[in-house]
Structure 1
Amino acid sequence: MTDHIEAKVTDSVLTLVLNRPDKKNALTDAMYGTLANELFAAQEDADIRVIVIRGEGDMFCSGNDIADFVAAGGGDIGERGVGRFLHALADNMKPLIAAVHGKAVGVGLTMLLHCDQVVLSEDAELVAPFVNLALVPEAGSSLLLPERIGHARAYRVFALGEPIGAADALAWGLANEIVARDRLTDAANALAQRLAKQPLGALIATKRLMRDPDAIRQRVDIESRVFGERLKTPEAQEAFAAFSQRRAPDFTSFG
């Protein structure tokens, strides 16, 4: 357990709160592990009918904690907390809602592709900076994002790291509604309560018909392998050095 993830169950709804606002809710491997534990346990808990994920502070999630991730090295991502979390997302069959405000960066964006409902605040901005860091997409997003918004849009989001504003996210089918920032939590909770009153067996059966967890898990594993390989490349070393030195990276010397 980590203090940076709050988990509570109210009226059959499990709420998972990313609570590391001083670090923009950047996820450490310990935080990933806690999220994975909560998602896996929720599948077996008859008292939990819906899951909500939201963040504290001025943004939903700034992605991986870079220092934590680099310290862990390439290794086998699947064996760490992050790998378990990605599998938990792929395997989750209970209704999953995200309430997103401010920036959702990296995994902050890609986890939304596993959510059944996404509520955005007016200031929400979704960013996939993987290629900017000389890496590749994760969380099954190389499969799920093109399926959702088409190849051309998805490639631009990945290749150039261009942010998706709330209005475009709604228009492209990445979100269900946009609300004022001060209404975000209430809107997500109201939606969760509506779903909690629906027949859970039918909801789960419907979700199983709508998605293929085996295909998603397979893509997650492929991405994780390539991601780990990319972490060891000179391009990635330059990207992370530039990030720590607060300068623009220079990839022109790499073929």
Structure 2
Amino acid sequence: MGNNHIITSIANRILTITISRESAKNALSLSMYSELTNALKLLDNDPDLYVAVITGSQTCFTAGNDLKDFMSGGALNEQHPTVQFLYQIASTKKPIIAAVAGPAIGIGTTMLLHCDLVYAANNSVFQLPFAQLGLCPEAGCSDILPRITGHVKAFEMVVLGDRFSAQDALEVGLINKVSSAEDVLSIANDAALKLTKLPENAVSTSKQLLKRNTEKRVLDSIAAELVQFETLLNSEQSQKIISSFFNRK
């Protein structure tokens, strides 16, 4: 059941997917995860679609999981909407471009690891606060991130969990370009339009070749992370941290 928090539109063979739940800082609920999964399936299955652009607003990409909703979703198995989204974004065949502005926290950062081009505004704030919540990385982050940044930087990001800027993200190779919040979506759209003018088979084959040695490994990492994530989530320590987080709100 959709709540209009994920808005999709199509123009010039580009599927734009907008996260729109500003009252909750674009936090992702279970129904939003389902809508995101369906949008990415549409991208792959519709021959008229070439590329997706995922974005939020000029002030917020997503504050991450809606924790209360996430914890009502039951076991982290393949029926869980969040898990379905992780597997879908990791295996989508057509290109995905992200246009990020404002906070991109938790899954807001890890989903970018599965995008093919990422443009971020200079007001972007990234954070992987897993250890701070008594949790471990998800979305294949434990495999992809150290390959991009090296081990020591990845450890700093997922264990110390400090916030970092678009410039920091650019320097470690997580994003392609930094711009103003006003321009970031049009820069992403320009890149998407460029892709639509290239031979489709060449684009999708290039994506597959770039990922051919790592896709199975990433999917296996997602599965391994979920086992550990669920164990940690159910631990007394994590439950205490999360309930104090709710009480603070």
Q: Same fold (TM over 0.5)?
A: yes
Which residue in the other structure is 1:245 paired with? 247
Contact 2:8 2:17 in 1 (8 A): yes
Superposition pairs of residues 10-21 of structure 1, within 5 angstroms:
10-21=11-22
Distance 2:203 2:27 in 1: 31
Contact 2:73 2:80 in 1 (8 A): no
1:57, CA displacement in angstroms? 5.8
State the secondary structure of the residue aligned to 1:26: coil
Which residue in the other structure is 1:81 paired with? 81
Which residue in the other structure is 1:46 paired with? 47
Distance 1:172 1:85 in 2: 26
Which residue in the other structure is 1:37 paired with? 38
Which residue in the other structure is 1:210 paired with? 210
String of CA shifts for 1:166-187, please: whole Å, max 9, x gaps.
Answer: 1111111111111111111111
Identity %: 35
Which residue in the other structure is 2:103 paired with? 103
Distance 2:243 2:35 in 1: 29
Which residue in the other structure is 2:69 paired with? 68
Q: 1:57 and 1:245, CA in 2 relative to 1: closer, same or farther beyond 3 A? A: farther
Distance 2:115 2:29 in 1: 21
Which residue in the other structure is 1:169 paired with? 169
Stretches of structure 2 lacking an aligned partner (at least 5 in a row): none
Which residue in the other structure is 2:137 paired with? 137
Distance 2:183 2:208 in 1: 31
String of CA shifts for 1:128-166, please: whole Å, max 9, x gaps.
Answer: 011110011111000001111111001000111111211
1:61, CA displacement in angstroms? 0.5
Distance 2:128 2:76 in 1: 22
Stretches of structure 1 lacking an aligned partner (at least 5 in a row): 248-255
Q: TM-score, normalised by structure 1?
A: 0.93
Which residue in the other structure is 1:120 paired with? 120
State the secondary structure of the residue aligned to 2:37: helix
State the secondary structure of the residue aligned to 1:82: helix
Give yes or no for the alignment of 1:221 onto 2:226: no
Which residue in the other structure is 2:233 paired with? 231
Structure 1 stretches of 4+ moved >3 Å = none
